[in-house]
Amino acid sequence: MEASERNKIYFASDFHLGAPDKASSFEREKKVVAWLDEVKVDAKEIFILGDVFDFWFEYKTVVPRGYVRLLGKIAEITDSGIPVHWFIGNHDMWIFDYIPDELNVQLHHDPIRREFAGKTFYIGHGDGLGPGDYGYKFIKKVFRAGWSKWLFARLHPNFGIGLANFFSKSSRAANQEVDKKFLGKEGEWLAIYCEELDKVQPTDYYIFGHRHLPMKIELDNGGYYFNIGDWINHFTYGVFDGQSFELKGYGTNPTIYSNT
């Protein structure tokens, strides 16, 4: 397909590779790679909205083992000229220069605004946004601090990564029940965040991950908040074709939510 015919913008989030065990993670990785193989045919750009890994830390000369199929596929896609945007998530916030340098992806630490075909988008992972959750917001600041990264780098990888994987697993277990329930428009903190943001700067689409639950919420001003869901339970992704945004499930590709 000619570059001019690649007109779709794709979004996916929360692969959590490495969890809950090597075997299931490997099967999930192969499914993500198969999806990337399909969408690269007509993709204009691809947005990966964070938590690609259940945990990631780059030591100066060492990175975690595994994930070579995914990393190789993304490198192949960017080598072909298709931009890939990679957002830092709360589980893999310690990505530094290895991923952007080796894969030639555009790394984002915070939400960004973009415009496609006259439609405005606000895109991010979603952690630490909206009201409440002050404990996590404090921890996020600590983990992003330079001294925190320096201290963790002093740990031997066998111990450091093992310790981090333990806490990552505990975090997922603590949130798994909430991840299954829709809390209503008044209870979804990312929807509240989008609603407040939209009052200041109206936007057509707010696209986030992190929540693990596919959802579509129409905002008071007429914009839409979409959560992309995850690839642990839902295997969902978003696509914008220049006219409408759809949330689809990989495999049979049913349209789960659309703005039309």
Residue 138: per-residue pLDDT: 66
* pLDDT level of residue 181 (50, 70, 90 thresholds): confident
The amino acid occupying position 203 is T
CA dihedral 236, 57, 114, 247 (to 10 degrees): 0
Using pLDDT thresholds of 50, 70 and 90, give the confidence band for residue 255: low
Q: Kindly report the CA angle at 217 between 169 and 132, in degrees rounded to 5? A: 50
- Greater model confidence, 224 or 143: 224
- Note the pLDDT of residue 153: 77
What's the CA dihedral at 234, 238, 239, 243 to 10 degrees? 120
Tell which wins on pLDDT, 216 or 130.
216
Domains of the chain: 3-258 (3.60.21.10)
What was the pLDDT predicted at 106? Answer: 98
